[in-house]
């Protein structure tokens, strides 16, 4: 289809392969033309499934004639150089979080894009496209619960690999809550604390799982986050906002309710993030593609990626020191 957006997908692990599927089967007006992955066999397999070609060098993919836009699902350490290459060529990018692995380099990306004078980078904070989060933000934004005073977030995974240590829990999981808090509260986070309690017995030595993470927003609103990634139960993401004139909660996860032998009533929690947020990922992709075909992006951008990086950096320091760490953010260019 001649006027489809021709997309290169860099990195086709679980997330990247999901994006390839979305771009090829569920998103209107897009086509995957190039796939690149350090694992060339994997790249070849994924590319073949959708009629794309492979490029072993991601920068060659970014530079290719048959590429209008780029989806970055490569390892975080590769993001900085790849995003900058896309900016240089003026290509719209959907960059999985993190934008870059350090806040200083993320800030560089913000400045580079600002200098370009147009937005080209969207960061993959897909929860903003989830119906429930969108409704909660609209409720807060419309004053429906008054000024927000507290936000209680629960983020639970059934299981993770052993390399998910306390720092990784901040960088990979709490990063979503960092963006959620900013998105819902509409303000920046000023400080982060981490309170470590007793770890679950299946956590590797030295890993405190669960942890309690606290954000203090600029207005003084408090955000509590229970981060627990080895519950053995399900993928559970719940958020409650407590405002001056009401409270609201999402993530109750109640669709099909059964009553079964033994007298137990209830339902099934989402087994994983695709089951919980699959719709949000696809909606994100369609929104990005529609904007990219028009030459830009309008979802969460480099500033949001930078802010999340700065918050997580403070969070990691809080994990290490056990204290309260202020989030040091530069001014918006």
273 vs 42: CA distance, rounded Å: 22
Give the CA dihedral 270, 275, 279, 281, nearest 10 degrees.
120
Query: Considering the complex, what minimum distance in angstroms separates the CB of residue 314 from a copy of itself?
Result: 16
261 phi, psi to nearest 5 deg: -50, 145
Q: Is residue 259 at the binding interface for a copy of itself, with CB under 8 A as the rule?
A: yes
Q: Per CB under 8 A, which of residues 49..88 are in contact with a copy of itself?
A: none
Sign of CA dihedral 43, 106, 293, 127: positive
Q: Find the binder of a copy of itself among 81, 139, 160, 274 (CB under 8 A).
A: 139
Q: Kindly write down the DSSP assignment for every residue of 147-158, as one continuous string.
A: SEEEEEEEEE-S
Query: Considering the complex, what minimum distance in angstroms separates the CB of residue 91 from a copy of itself?
Result: 21
147 CB-near residues (< 8 Å, 6+ apart): 219, 221, 243, 244
Q: Find the binder of a copy of itself among 162, 249, 294, 332 (CB under 8 A).
A: 249
65 vs 252: CA distance, rounded Å: 46
Q: Find the binder of a copy of itself among 26, 42, 111, 112 (CB under 8 A).
A: 26
Query: Considering the complex, what minimum distance in angstroms separates the CB of residue 76 from a copy of itself?
Result: 29
Q: Find the binder of a copy of itself among 48, 147, 159, 294 (CB under 8 A).
A: 147
295 CB-near residues (< 8 Å, 6+ apart): 92, 118
284 phi, psi to nearest 5 deg: -55, -45
Q: Per CB under 8 A, which of residues 274..293 are in contact with a copy of itself?
A: 279, 286
Q: Is residue 216 at the binding interface for a copy of itself, with CB under 8 A as the rule?
A: yes
Interface with a copy of itself by CB under 8 A: which range of 51-59, 80-88, 131-139, 310-318? 131-139
Q: Is residue 197 at the binding interface for a copy of itself, with CB under 8 A as the rule?
A: yes
Q: Is residue 149 at the binding interface for a copy of itself, with CB under 8 A as the rule?
A: yes
Q: Is residue 226 at the binding interface for a copy of itself, with CB under 8 A as the rule?
A: yes
């Amino acid at each position: 289809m001649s006027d489809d957006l021709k997309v290169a997908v860099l990195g086709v692990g679980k997330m990247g392969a999901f994006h390839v599927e979305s771009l090829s089967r569920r998103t209107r007006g897009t086509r995957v033309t190039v796939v690149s992955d350090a694992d060339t066999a994997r790249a070849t397999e994924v590319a073949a499934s959708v009629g794309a070609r492979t490029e072993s060098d991601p920068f060659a993919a970014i530079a290719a004639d048959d590429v209008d836009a780029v989806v970055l699902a490569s390892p975080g350490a590769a993001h900085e150089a790849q995003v900058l290459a896309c900016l240089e060529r003026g290509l719209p990018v959907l960059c999985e979080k993190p934008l870059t692995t350090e806040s200083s380099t993320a800030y560089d990306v913000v400045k580079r894009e600002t200098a370009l004078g147009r937005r080209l980078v969207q960061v993959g904070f897909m929860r903003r496209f989830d119906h429930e989060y969108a409704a909660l933000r609209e409720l807060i934004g419309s004053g429906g619960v008054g000024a927000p005073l507290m936000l209680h977030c629960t983020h639970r995974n059934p299981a993770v690999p052993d390399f998910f240590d306390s720092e990784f829990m901040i960088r990979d999981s709490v990063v979503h809550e960092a963006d959620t808090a900013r998105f819902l509260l509409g303000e920046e986070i000023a400080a982060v604390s981490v309170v470590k309690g007793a770890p679950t017995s299946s956590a590797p030595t030295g890993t405190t799982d669960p942890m309690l993470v606290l954000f203090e927003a600029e207005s003084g609103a408090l955000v509590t986050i229970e981060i627990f990634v080895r519950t053995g139960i399900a993928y559970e993401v719940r958020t409650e906002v407590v405002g001056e004139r009401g409270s609201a909660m999402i993530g109750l996860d109640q669709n099909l309710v059964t009553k079964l032998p033994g007298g137990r009533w209830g339902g099934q929690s989402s087994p994983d993030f695709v089951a919980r947020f699959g719709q949000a990922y696809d909606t994100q992709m369609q929104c990005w593609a529609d904007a990219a075909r028009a030459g830009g992006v309008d979802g969460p951008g480099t500033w949001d990626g930078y802010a999340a990086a700065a918050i997580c950096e403070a969070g990691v320091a809080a994990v290490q020191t056990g204290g309260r760490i202020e989030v040091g953010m530069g001014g918006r260019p």
